[in-house]
Amino acid sequence: MKEARVMSGAVSARNLTIRHDYSWKEWLSLILHLGKAKISLFATLSTATGYLLASGSVTIHILVPTVAVWLLACGACALNQYQDRAIDQLMERTKSRPIPSGRLNPETALSISFGLTLLGSLILLCGKDHLATGLGVFAVFWYILIYTPLKQRTAFATIPGALVGAIPPLLGWVSGGGSMLDPRIWGVALFFFMWQVPHFWLLLLDHAGDYEKAGLPSIVRIFSSDQMRRILFVWLLSTGVCGFSIPLFGFIRLPLVRYLLLVATLWFFWNAAHFFIHSQRVALRSLFTKVNIYAFLVLFLLSFERLPSLTLRH
């Protein structure tokens, strides 16, 4: 049944009329949509944070890992949309994407994804940091060859897939002169690994009907709503504990920043507890947004002490 739905979607996708007379602004919009540019920007921010933590200040060289990671993330997202093009047409949330909507043919999307990925890899190579290049390429391959096929086989694909979220701060750290063996950056990477799981599961729960319609494995078919509430609560608490523990790794020294992190974490815990107690009255989309806000606050507070020393030196 799942194969029949996917094949039906693939046939419909092929029958769509594709325009070719786009203006350059329309092409740019299509490429940004294909590469999920806004989502990819978060990977860029965590890369920049890793760089700041290692180097201690902003230099012109920060552009190498941040631009490269943005391009790699856009390329991976574009390739993912190529892989999921038949499934995307079956889901309300994704059927307006460039390929299933008929605005872009799959072959062109594939070429764009390869171009973005290649350009990002070349920028890292030009930075003469082979370890950072290896991390970037590994993240793309893990996302495309491990996570994407797994999500069609198991509802737990999010957990190995969350590894991709831990790599950008590591890449930025290495590019900024840090050592991969330094345990401090692994504490930051652990936070972003933990954050990815509730981030994706809340999105999945909010669109559970879409996933069912597309025939994808869903955690709502494995766990009851009460079990899912408890599981998500544990992941949310774990994410908050990891975020609040980051000062223990020596990155945050100013008392004011530590207090702000405490306030942000308490706010996050309160929202997690509110969800646990009143799950029927909590909008999943609202909690999803708050999870992302907390991750952004952690990024900002980690970078805050280093931003006053902003210099664009060579």
Taking a C-beta distance cutoff of 8 angstroms, is the pair 264, 240 a contact? Answer: no
Residue labelled with tokens 């990815």: 196
Give pLDDT tens digits for 123-165: 999 877 889 999 999 999 999 999 999 988 998 999 999 999 9
| HEC assignment per residue over 126-142 | HCCCHHHHHHHHHHHHH
Structural domain span for residue 121:
24-309
| Residue 65: per-residue pLDDT | 95
- The three-class DSSP label of residue 206 is helix
Residue 225 belongs to domain with CATH number: 1.10.357.140
Whole-structure pTM value:
0.86
**How many structural domains does the chain have?**
1
Q: Which of 155, 150, 285 is nearest to 212 (CA)?
A: 155
Q: How confident is the model at residue 281 (pLDDT cuts 50, 70, 90)?
A: low
- The three-class DSSP label of residue 12 is helix
> Is residue 68 a part of any domain in this protein?
yes
Would you call 114 exposed, middle or buried from its count of C-beta atoms within 10 A (0-12, 13-18, 19+)?
A: middle
> Is residue 13 a part of any domain in this protein?
no
> Is residue 5 a part of any domain in this protein?
no
Question: HSE (CB half, 13 Å, CA atoms) of 93?
Answer: 15
Residues contacting residue 229 through CB under 8 Å, at least 6 positions apart: 275, 276, 279
